[in-house]
Amino acid sequence: MTSDSKADRIHALDSLRAIMMLLGLVVHSAVTYGVVDYRGDWGLKDKLNTNIFFDHLVHFIHVFRMPLFFVMAGFFGALLFYEKGPLKMIRNRVDRILLPFIVFISFIFPLSLTSFIFSQNKMRGNPDAARAAAEWLLGLKLSYYTTVHLWFLYYLIMFSIAGWALGLLFSRVPTLTHRVNLWFSKIVSHPLPRTLLLSFMTYFCLNLMGTAGIKTSISFKPDATVFFIYFSIYLFGWLLFKSKHLLSTLSRWGWLQIAAGFIFFMMKTLMLSQKSDTFFHLRQFANATSMWFFIFGFTALFLNYLNYRSATMRYISDASYWVYLVHLPIVSLIPGYLASFDMSPFLKFTIVLSLTTGIGFLTYHGMVRSTFIGKFLSGRRISEKALPVSP
């Protein structure tokens, strides 16, 4: 593999990381129009315009989106550690993760919750929805704060510190490091054994968590089980960088692994109505297996089809951070304005997703890309003339 090929493969993985982040907009646009009421997890439900399709869509994306994102986060964390050095890695993580988290949580949380309260009141038919939202905002206390959709940054800060510490520790025991890398390479080189082994490990983690799928924790008090399961996935990405010669191996059997992942996802879905402990454990294993098949399948597809420098994907990758950071107040506000219209939930979903995405990218291009905000988020300003073009 040439150095150019290595760089192109990293471009493909960076694109994969960005797309996983942007799929969050799809999830948050869809959940309002599903049948399932998530209550404390998502306070919006347009009960007059729902369809079970959106519940299946949310569950499908949830299986692989954040696990795959954390695999890529571990990969690029290791890249910083080993190619830039431990000190520069920590400085980068402070600048790119810790500081944006602190700055954005300070205003994204109140804006998001105000949008939720406005839309909730609109969906209940309250003509004074704006006043109710404003009154809530004026009475907001710091103790109410949660990490909302920025929980992944909160945990990524912890993973970066833990990964950095482990990296320093293992650098002092080269013999052990060599053995771990050798073992990892042997496992990852064989598609079926690696998937089964990793699935059993994730199944064990789900048992500790006590849920059929990986839960999300938005509390400022870290959840040990959430940390454990996602950090193990992060470490897989870290070790993958150490064995990046295996990327050519990972580019194989993409569609087949996607198909296998979908089969196990359907098995999990069909068992949802079964309440026995046996079926619960079967759902846990099916969820874990579909997750890893999807992780390897989507990684293979990106390595095969986006294994080149693309100005368009570079632009999307640059924008994805900003778009995801600011999308929650928008995606929770628009359904309130649509609540009084009796129309297809598919049309409402399309409007919410399109407007949220459009506003996110337009504000990125006009307010962020070539400004101090862009430098704050990515470490560099990009010329306004640097528009996406064909590769």
Query: How much is the pLDDT for 118?
Result: 94
Span between the terminal Cα atoms of the chain, in Å: 21
Residue 170 CA from chain centroid, whole number: 28
> What average pLDDT does this structure show over 132-143?
82
Task: Tell me whether residue 106 is in a domain.
Answer: yes
Task: Tell me whether residue 391 is in a domain.
Answer: no
Is the pLDDT higher at 381 or at 33? Answer: 33
**Count of CB atoms within 10 A of residue 70's CB?**
27
pTM assigned to the model = 0.92
Task: Tell me whether residue 7 is in a domain.
Answer: yes
> What average pLDDT does this structure show over 178-183?
90
Can you read off the two tokens belonging to residue 170? 């293992």
Round to whole Å and give the CA distance between 179 and 175. 6
Residues 6+ apart with CB under 8 A from 306: 11, 12, 15, 16, 313
Q: What is the Cβ-side half-sphere exposure of residue 86, based on CA atoms within 13 angstroms?
A: 11
Query: How much is the pLDDT for 24?
Result: 97
Average pLDDT for the chain: 90
Task: Tell me whether residue 384 is in a domain.
Answer: no
Least confident of 34-43, 265-274, 344-353: 34-43
- Helices (H) and strands (E) counted in the chain, each on its own, are 15, 0
> What average pLDDT does this structure show over 317-332?
96
Query: How much is the pLDDT for 4?
Result: 45
Task: Tell me whether residue 390 is in a domain.
Answer: no
User: pLDDT tens for residues 254-305?
Assistant: 999 999 999 999 999 998 878 888 999 999 999 999 999 999 999 999 999 9
Can you read off the two tokens belonging to residue 5? 């090929």
> What average pLDDT does this structure show over 176-181?
89
Is the pLDDT higher at 40 or at 205? Answer: 205
**Count of CB atoms within 10 A of residue 344's CB?**
11
**Count of CB atoms within 10 A of residue 246's CB?**
17
Rg over alpha carbons for the chain, rounded to the nearest Å, is 21
Report the candidate in 116, 141, 142 with the shortest Cα–Cα distance to residue 31: 116
Task: Tell me whether residue 284 is in a domain.
Answer: yes
User: pLDDT tens for residues 158-170?
Assistant: 999 999 999 999 9
* Percent with pLDDT over 70 in the chain: 94
Round to whole Å and give the CA distance between 367 and 90. 28
Q: Give 132: exposed, middle or buried? Use CB within 10 Å, 0-12, 13-18, 19+.
A: middle
Least confident of 200-204, 209-213, 260-264, 345-349: 209-213
Number of folded domains in the chain?
A: 1
Per-residue confidence at 40, pLDDT binned at 50, 70, 90? low
> Which amino acid, residue 256?
L
Round to whole Å and give the CA distance between 133 and 279. 43
Per-residue confidence at 135, pLDDT binned at 50, 70, 90? confident
Task: Tell me whether residue 100 is in a domain.
Answer: yes
**Count of CB atoms within 10 A of residue 160's CB?**
24
Is the pLDDT at 2 greater than 70? The verdict is no
Residues listed for the chain: 391
Residues 6+ apart with CB under 8 A from 119: 44, 129, 332, 333, 335, 336, 339
Continuous H helices in the chain: 3-30, 52-79, 86-93, 99-123, 129-138, 151-171, 174-188, 191-209, 224-242, 247-250, 254-270, 277-305, 311-338, 345-363, 372-378
> What average pLDDT does this structure show over 45-61?
93
Can you read off the two tokens belonging to residue 3? 């150095």
Task: Tell me whether residue 62 is in a domain.
Answer: yes
| Residue 13 domain boundaries | 3-378
Query: How much is the pLDDT for 5?
Result: 46
Per-residue confidence at 384, pLDDT binned at 50, 70, 90? low
Least confident of 128-137, 234-243, 311-320: 128-137
